[in-house]
Amino acid sequence: MTNEDNAHTLRCDDEGPRSESRRGFLKLAALTGAVVSTTGSRALANGDIGFFAKDLSDEKLINMYRTILRIRWHERTQADQMLTNPDYRGYNHFYAGQEAVATGVCAALRNDGPFDQIDLVYSTHRPSGHAIAKGVDIPKMVAEMDFRATGMNGGYGAEMHISDPSVGFIGADGMVGPGHVTAAGSAFAFRARGSDQVSVAFAGDGTYATPQFHSALNNAKLLDLPFIYVLENNLYHQFAHYSYSCPHKNIADAAAAYGIATEVVDGQDVIQVYNAAKEAVNRARSGGGPTFIEAKTYRYYNHWGAPGAKAGELGAFGYDPLAITSFRPEREVRAWMQRDPVDISRKILVDWGVIDDARAAEIEEEVKAEIASAFEWALSQPLCTPEDGLRHVFAEGTVPARQFG
Amino acid sequence: MTNEDNAHTLRCDDEGPRSESRRGFLKLAALTGAVVSTTGSRALANGDIGFFAKDLSDEKLINMYRTILRIRWHERTQADQMLTNPDYRGYNHFYAGQEAVATGVCAALRNDGPFDQIDLVYSTHRPSGHAIAKGVDIPKMVAEMDFRATGMNGGYGAEMHISDPSVGFIGADGMVGPGHVTAAGSAFAFRARGSDQVSVAFAGDGTYATPQFHSALNNAKLLDLPFIYVLENNLYHQFAHYSYSCPHKNIADAAAAYGIATEVVDGQDVIQVYNAAKEAVNRARSGGGPTFIEAKTYRYYNHWGAPGAKAGELGAFGYDPLAITSFRPEREVRAWMQRDPVDISRKILVDWGVIDDARAAEIEEEVKAEIASAFEWALSQPLCTPEDGLRHVFAEGTVPARQFG
Amino acid sequence: MAQKSWMYSVLEAVQYEMQQDPAMTWIFELTPPVASTPGKPVINLETEFGRKRVVNTGIDEYWMAATVLGASLAGSKSATYIPYQGALMPFELIQNYASKMRHKTGGVASLPAVWIIEMTGQTPGFAQQHSCYEEDSYYMHIPGVRTVIPSTPYDAKGLMHAALRSPDPVVYLYPAGLRTLTGEVPDEPYEVPLDKAAMRQEGSDLTIVSSGGGMPGVLEAAETLTGEGMSVEVIDLRVLKEMDTETLVNSVAKTKRLLTVDQSYYTLGPGAEVVARVAENVEGARFKRVAFPDAPPPASPEMFTWMRPNAEGIAGAARDLA
Amino acid sequence: MAQKSWMYSVLEAVQYEMQQDPAMTWIFELTPPVASTPGKPVINLETEFGRKRVVNTGIDEYWMAATVLGASLAGSKSATYIPYQGALMPFELIQNYASKMRHKTGGVASLPAVWIIEMTGQTPGFAQQHSCYEEDSYYMHIPGVRTVIPSTPYDAKGLMHAALRSPDPVVYLYPAGLRTLTGEVPDEPYEVPLDKAAMRQEGSDLTIVSSGGGMPGVLEAAETLTGEGMSVEVIDLRVLKEMDTETLVNSVAKTKRLLTVDQSYYTLGPGAEVVARVAENVEGARFKRVAFPDAPPPASPEMFTWMRPNAEGIAGAARDLA
Ligand SMILES: Cc1ncc(C[n+]2csc(CCOP(=O)(O)OP(=O)(O)O)c2C)c(N)n1
Ligand SMILES: Cc1ncc(C[n+]2csc(CCOP(=O)(O)OP(=O)(O)O)c2C)c(N)n1
Ligand SMILES: [Mg+2]
Ligand SMILES: [Mg+2]
């Protein structure tokens, strides 16, 4: 396990050749997606300080764009499977529309290396974007979501429980509540063992109302934990607008009340998200304690599955059959789709001269092919063996069958 | 039960002959115990607005003084019993030092009348002061604390569970957490049935860290409940200073973050507490939602029982045998005892010309006698019948014995 | 009398009680209090009784349960529908606070509280956290709270009326897997008692005892076994606390064979208590339990459906025992 | 080897493991990790390992349990001591999240977590919320977590070493009523296995099974009965999950008489599972359970001590059965 020694080997997640400074492009970037507002302790003397994306290599920027596309095309491909392939059994809580948040945050983290040095991510019931951004093996994730024996978790967990500690993806969580406190617990361990690792909890606006919200933030502050709470405010929990359960316009205000550093960012702009995350990671690694990032964002599909969606088209519209008493106005969905994270990230890269439109389109085709072959591989994988359900209860052995008396 | 009709019969808790205005005495009162500070939405244009005590009758003021004395002498008498009477079996979490809080708050409440019109009080593991202030029958309470069959709760509950709904005292609670959310639930019922009743939760500084703190305040705010949270900040939860579990100096700041009206008051001065409580009650009855009152106060005894106390003397000093790694400095205890709620209330009444020193002393003697006879009665009451332990599990009947096979 | 869906039957009872008692409240999180059934008016508690009495809340099941308790202590009958994902969030509140309230106050507390706690539909694929049925055991161990678990729309309505009229707090377990059942359910209010098991089929060779979501498989197995000439007695516990020992003991005194069926874990499932009570009171009987193994439910439908007790497994166990 | 108090025995194991593993953490709320025993150095984990690894926290047992889990998922062995008042506060976290973690991840999660959960001392007078012993059943029903309950200082130390070295999460129940016990406890580290019951006395007429806080009364009753000429076999469960069925079945196959003793409630107490397992496997045996009635513990010492199973009641039940 970890000890004090290796705690001091700080590895830089964005090492590699620095490209020229991109300060000249700042104005353009600001136009494409400015920070919505900032609260709490963040006070930048000028627009440059804290614009950490200025130092990113072309390679890294292109990787971020690629990650956004991977998430998007995983979603669209899976939605099409659900809508057109009667043999497909997987399901998802679609993340499309929110891609820039997972991508921007995870780009600021340490995602490979020994387990006792990488940063950890705790995800939610809507995990596919976080998982891809953290670097899980996509074909194995796709196989897991279709309950295959060779899936990332052997078919035991499926969508709401996908996990891959080898890249620091502690995993999805079907419950709303336990995860964020537990994530703070990992941060506690880092501090106790003198490691510079960081623990990140992704969470939705629905988590604000949970009692564990208080526990996580209060203790993170009291113990100054290297903990980053990324609240993706997509306005709805299930079918209810967040104003049903939260008296704040910016949920970050709730975190600021604890004396925690907060940022409210445009969750559609991966660069803004990256900047906020990088600042938070720097703070955490240097012993400066927790940060709360609220990303204003939106999901293009309904809460669960693909109702209202059409094969080959992005997004779901109209009445959600699960909603009954309330649902999202179609115009709201369309208004948000105008500020699409894929478009925004592509425009920034083109504007910054990192790629041109042709290369951008090429990359998108590469990603589509990659995802298509991931599904092809995954959907040809073997199904699980019934008796294996009795394994993995404890580290060793199996439990007895009881269903036959 | 309650219906919309009787909800509109607003009863005034302090009716009776008004004594002359006491504005002339304001300055004196301010000297004896000024508001420590105020936060949140409380903004008084001048010192008179909100000084509700100006309108109290002499009778009511004397009753408040008497209540403080009753609590004090109940505590001292019980401590002496614990220290000198080997047959005495009761125990207590002593409230001495905090009397002005319970007294000031309950003086602003409706404490008699039909159950569907009185205000409710939820208490803690330190309940005797709240119970007396809310108006429970003291001899029966004393009997309950010594496990007598004719005690207030038939000997079933004892100190940590005393309860008397007939005066709106929902009761003590041995747990730290469930009570305050449940108290907000009563407020929810009042609002739902159109009643103008108010629900009050007393709580310690220890409750801040509980997950239920968030639940209670968030939902009270969201639903604008007629709910008053009275946090008695006596600096310690068990043996730990509250700064171990709370990043705020004023815990009221945490409530203000939800947009809840807050008051921070000197908990040693019953008049200041009354003023804050009266304002909160007015707000709640008129549909203005919740209030959070933080009373700065101190307990004169250790967390539990009478270790460190001497018969016939007030307070406990020195090392608490239960504490082990931390305990309260004796100088801190003595410093707080300089601002004793009994002294402060007596001085105010004398300064205001309500009573003179002789009458004050007389009242104290009356109370001592009353408490002495309460103990005398209670300690001669019958013990419980073993088999009765099988009753009151459900509304009717008994459960079977199982301890004999 | 009409064919009614499960949810309609339940909400019909709730609607009636809320009409009778203008103080009664209802709190929900995900499941709107709305139901329809062919030929009957739609029930929508939220629109009928308004948002002061019927509240849609955030993700805080502890608060939901506490609010119902607080309302009941204030004299207002109150109920909440807690979705299965949050089934154990309010556990401590019910277990250590609400359930002891009457006893600790020496009987003076007012407690007309009903917590409807959903159990999952055990949808294959949903896995671990979204497929557990285990809460029956937890709630059943608690003294001071009546715990019931209907298995038919008729009982669902009658137990709901009884729960809402009871002065005792009631945990009303709602097996979501049975939501698709329909049945003949009277329009008028009626009560199903909070302390009686239901004899679903009489027989003399073997007693099978189950409850809630376990019943469809048991009834199917009983049909098969009856077809094979076995005389099977089937008991639906219906009430977990206080368990109707008499019905169980009388049955096994006759059949001398007891098979229990739990959709939840083997260790300390309700079947353990059934076997133990009967074993204490009937000599010379033989016993067997069918249950979900002591493992969380996995996502893979292959693993999960194999692990879940079904009619075939139940019938096999019955044949072994008889 | 020396006479050691219970708490000293436990902390000796914790101290050793914390010395071995500099990443290991300890979280406490009310009970400082301090113990002394005559002739041995005082153990104080807080001063020895510092406040980064040993944390005194606010009243939030859910957080305590979650933090231990989070630390273990991050690869750090971690333990916490949860006082009995908060025994069920973290229940949902352990039941629905931690216990399913290994299974839901297909075995990849790291889980060296130990939750020491205190059970009350059942002090007469403390009543309902402060006298419950009931958590054994709740934790025992959970799959994926090993639940143990020592009844001697020797086992307390050995089970603590085993728990801290186990890759599986462990709920370590700590019966506070036994805190006053002392015993011969080796200074060296040793393990008591996490899956074996302890045979405390061999006999052929009757088997008595209990655990934790129930053991002193059982041993006293066994002594009385032995004095009367009865040959009593006494089994201390020691491990509730996974229960050591073999030891139980072998014993009752021999004695044909089983008496279980629970300090917690009758319905679904651990004794129910013991009876059920044996009844499924041993024919022609007779069974009886002694337990706390299905009522919260009242404050009055007269009521409470009458309701709590004691040596006399146990011996009486044994005589009836034999
Ligand atoms: C404790 C608990 N209660 C209820 C649920 C059911 N549930 C699943 S997701 C969800 C909404 C979450 O909303 P939010 O946090 O905003 O995330 P989003 O779905 O918008 O990504 C709810 C209520 C749950 N999973 N856990
Ligand atoms: C859930 C829970 N955890 C722990 C305890 C043990 N406990 C009883 S009182 C107390 C301290 C409470 O402190 P505070 O709220 O400040 O009230 P005070 O004692 O100062 O009046 C604690 C930790 C408890 N009763 N409930
Ligand atoms: Mg959301
Ligand atoms: Mg305090």
Encode pLDDT of B324-348 as tens digits: 655 788 899 999 999 999 999 999 9
Can you list the alpha helix ranges (DSSP code H) found in D50-134?
61-73, 91-92, 101-104
User: D160 and D23, same structural domain?
Assistant: yes
Q: Where are the domains of chain B?
A: 3-7+34-380
Query: Do the bridges between strand C146-148 and strand C239-241 make them parallel or antiparallel, or are there none, so unpaired?
Result: antiparallel
Q: What is the DSSP string of B241-276?
A: EGGGT-S-SSTHHHHHTTT-EEEEEETT-HHHHHHH
Q: What is the pLDDT of residues C63-120, one digit of tens each?
A: 999 999 999 999 999 999 999 999 999 999 999 999 999 999 999 999 999 999 999 9
User: Of the bound ligands, which one is closest to the alpha carbon of residue B95?
Assistant: 2
Reduced to 3 states (helix: H, G, I; strand: E, B; else coil), residue B307 is coil
Please report, as a single letter, which amino acid is at residue D204.
S
Lowest mean pLDDT among C36-40, C186-190, C222-226, D51-55: C36-40
CATH number at residue D305: 3.40.50.920
D89, D268, D295 ranked by CB distance to C272: nearest: D268
pLDDT of D1 higher than 80? no
Q: Provide the 8-state DSSP code for A172.
A: -
Q: What is the pLDDT of residues D290-311, one digit of tens each?
A: 999 999 999 999 999 999 999 9
CA torsion sign for A201, A202, A207, A208 is positive
Residue C2's Cβ-count burial label (10 Å; 0-12, 13-18, 19+) is: middle
- Please give the mean pLDDT across all residues of chain A: 88
User: C289 and C155, same structural domain?
Assistant: no
Contact C316 A156 (CB under 8 A): no
Rounded to two decimals, the ipTM of the complex is: 0.94
Instruction: Determine contact: D177 vs chain C, CB below 8 A.
Output: no
pLDDT at D32: 85
User: C209 and C179, same structural domain?
Assistant: no
pLDDT at A17: 32
CATH number at residue D13: 3.40.50.970
Low-confidence stretches of chain A (pLDDT beneath 70): 1-49, 321-326
* Gap between the Cα atoms of C158 and C190, Å rounded: 5
Crossing angle for the helix pair D61-73 and A178-192, to the nearest 10 degrees: 60
- What's the domain range around D88? 2-185
* Gap between the Cα atoms of A230 and A227, Å rounded: 10
Extract the runs of DSSP E, i.e. beta strands, from chain C. Answer: 2-5, 25-28, 34-35, 43-44, 54-56, 78-82, 113-119, 146-148, 170-175, 182-185, 198-201, 206-210, 232-236, 239-241, 257-265, 286-292
Q: What is the pLDDT of residues B190-245, one digit of tens each?
A: 999 999 999 999 999 999 999 999 999 999 999 999 999 999 999 999 888 999 99
Nearest Cα residue in chain A from C298: A156
Which overall architecture, per CATH, does domain B3-7+34-380 show?
3-Layer(aba) Sandwich (3.40)
Contact A209 B221 (CB under 8 A): no
Instruction: Determine contact: B244 vs chain A, CB below 8 A.
Output: yes
Please report, as a single letter, which amino acid is at residue B393.
V
Q: What are the Cα distances from residue A97, in Å, to A72, A315, C35, D254?
A: 8, 9, 33, 68
User: C250 and C172, same structural domain?
Assistant: no
Interface size, chain A vs chain B, as Cβ–Cβ contacts under 8 Å: 43
Which chains does A contact via 3+ CB–CB distances below 8 A?
B, C, D
pLDDT at A131: 98
Last residue of a domain, one of D185, D212, D246: D185
Residues linked to residue A232 through DSSP beta bridges, in sequence order: A204, A295
Check if D83 has its Cβ closer than 6 Å to any atom of ligand 2.
Answer: yes
Ligand 2 atom with the smallest distance to the CA of D129 is 25
Ligand 1 atom with the smallest distance to the CA of C30 is 23
Query: Do the bridges between strand D239-241 and strand D198-201 make them parallel or antiparallel, or are there none, so unpaired?
Result: unpaired
- Residue with CA closest to ligand 1 atom 21: A204
Mean pLDDT of B387-397: 98
pLDDT at B322: 65
How many Cβ atoms are within 10 Å of B358's Cβ, its own excluded? 9
User: C120 and C81, same structural domain?
Assistant: yes
Task: Kindly report the nearest CA distance between residue C227 and chain D, in angstroms.
Answer: 26
Nearest to C209 by CA among C163, C244, C170, C160: C244
User: D314 and D272, same structural domain?
Assistant: yes
Q: Cα of B238 to ligand 4 centre, how many Å? A: 7
List the structure tokens of C266.
Answer: 């083997």
Task: Kindly report the nearest CA distance between residue C70 and chain B, in angstroms.
Answer: 4
Contact A181 D55 (CB under 8 A): no
Ligand 1 atom with the smallest distance to the CA of A234 is 20
C88, C100, C276 ranked by CB distance to D296: nearest: C100
Nearest Cα residue in chain C from A324: C32
Reduced to 3 states (helix: H, G, I; strand: E, B; else coil), residue A162 is coil
pLDDT of B26 higher than 70? no
Q: Provide the 8-state DSSP code for B196.
A: -
- Is there a domain that residue D191 lies in? no
Mean pLDDT of D27-54: 93
pLDDT at C133: 85
More confident residue, C121 or D109: D109
Mean pLDDT of D48-77: 97
Mean pLDDT of D158-169: 98
* Gap between the Cα atoms of C254 and C282, Å rounded: 9
CA angle centred on C11, ends C6 and C12, rounded to 5°: 95
Task: Kindly report the nearest CA distance between residue D209 and chain C, in angstroms.
Answer: 14
| The model's pTM | 0.94
Q: Report C:194-253 residues touching D (Cβ under 8 A).
A: 241-243
Of chain D, the percentage scoring pLDDT greater than 90 comes to: 92
- Please give the mean pLDDT across all residues of chain D: 96
pLDDT at A23: 31
User: D119 and D243, same structural domain?
Assistant: no
Q: Cα of B129 to ligand 4 centre, how many Å? A: 14
User: Of the bound ligands, which one is closest to the alpha carbon of residue B302?
Assistant: 2
User: Which residues in chain A touch residue B246, judged by CB atoms under 8 angstroms apart?
Assistant: 218, 222
User: D52 and D128, same structural domain?
Assistant: yes
User: C178 and C115, same structural domain?
Assistant: yes
User: D272 and D123, same structural domain?
Assistant: no
- Is there a domain that residue C192 lies in? no
More confident residue, D30 or A255: A255
- Is there a domain that residue D190 lies in? no
pLDDT at A321: 67
Domain count, chain D: 2
pLDDT at C237: 98
User: Of the bound ligands, which one is closest to the alpha carbon of residue C29?
Assistant: 1
- Is there a domain that residue C175 lies in? yes
pLDDT of C129 higher than 80? yes
pLDDT at B49: 63
pLDDT of B23 higher than 60? no
List the structure tokens of B337.
Answer: 């005892």
User: C151 and C213, same structural domain?
Assistant: no
Instruction: Determine contact: C146 vs chain B, CB below 8 A.
Output: yes
Q: What is the pLDDT of residues B264-309, one digit of tens each?
A: 999 999 999 999 999 999 999 999 999 999 999 999 999 999 988 9
User: Which residues in chain C touch residue D287, judged by CB atoms under 8 angstroms apart?
Assistant: 276, 279-280
Nearest to A75 by CA among A142, A160, A158, A172: A142
Q: Cα of C78 to ligand 2 centre, how many Å? A: 29
Lowest mean pLDDT among B97-106, D30-39, D84-93: D30-39
Nearest to B20 by CA among B60, B59, B57, B45: B57
Last residue of a domain, one of C160, C185, C210: C185
- Is there a domain that residue D180 lies in? yes
User: C94 and C66, same structural domain?
Assistant: yes
Q: What is the pLDDT of residues B285-296, one digit of tens each?
A: 999 999 999 999
Last residue of a domain, one of D158, D185, D212: D185
